[in-house]
Amino acid sequence: MSAPPPGRFTEFTAIDWSGARGRRHRGIAVARCGPGGDAPVLVAPSGRDWSREEVLDWLVARRDRAMLVGFDFSFSAPFVARGAHLPGETETRDARALWRYVDAASADEDLGAASFLEARRGRHFYLGAADGPKRDFLHWRACEMAHDGSTKPSTVYDAIGAAQVAKASFAGMRLLHHLDGRVAIWPFDAVPPAGALVVEIYTAIAARAAGLRKGRSKLRDAAALDAALAVLGSAAHAPLKRYDDHATDAILAAAWLRARVDDVALWRPRALTAAVARTEGWTFGVD
């Protein structure tokens, strides 16, 4: 994998995502910043809250800009360890085929995928004790075990609890399917010489880089957000109407993308083989 040359990107956008049902989602936040040290700002939706389709349209309209975009959801399901994304159901051999499969099998509005998970509960997804032992559903991607074999608290097969990432990730796969061929998606695509590039991020990585301790990474007031931004070389932010995890996560992650974009090691992870890149993808920030 090749790293982008210095100065390749001049805009940095982080998107806190949601897999919730419905048309508009309070859980989506979009923050962007330019080069230098100005603090990221929130991008306002057309209405009170963003829809997933509006995020898609917003990004496609800006696909020719030198913009690095980080989405906080898993871009694929595990494949390497078991040889299938949904064993016994799919024969998808790469992540793009999985995105296509999920999109075709999901009837939810606004690129949602809740019904996709519910139709497969107990077989692929854990939605509660009735589905059997939770440990039977715990499978991870290579990037989620890259450091020392430890894993994230949740996997894309665990769809219950506050920490679950399943609903957001499968809704995100629908988004990626509709972005595919219109905006480059790393590492499934190489870094293009111009235009926008989408990467997977994990906002907790940005929080650790800003000096926040594990388990205490949520920022819910102006002073804490400014202190974290300062560690990443960013000026203080403009006051927000509401301080919630979605807004502050997006703002901090956008500043982190700008601060780390020239770290070559993050573009060339040691465990990112061609097979892993094709089938599972990678979280930018895991080296």
pLDDT of residue 214: 72
Buried b (16+ CB within 10 A) or exposed e, 144-156: bbbeeeeebebbb
CB proximity list for 150: less than 8 A, separation 6 or greater: none
For the chain, the helix, strand and coil percentages under 3-state DSSP, each to the nearest 5 = 30, 10, 55
| Cβ atoms within 10 Å, residue 238 | 12
pLDDT of residue 241: 87
pLDDT of residue 161: 78
Would you give per-residue pLDDT tens digits along the chain (287 residues)?
789 999 999 999 999 999 999 999 999 999 999 999 999 999 999 999 999 999 999 999 999 999 999 999 999 999 999 999 999 999 999 999 999 999 999 999 999 999 999 999 999 999 999 999 999 999 999 998 855 444 455 799 999 877 788 999 999 999 999 999 999 999 999 999 999 999 999 999 999 999 887 766 577 789 999 999 999 999 999 999 889 999 999 999 999 999 999 999 999 999 999 999 999 999 999 98
C-alpha 127, offset from chain centre: 21
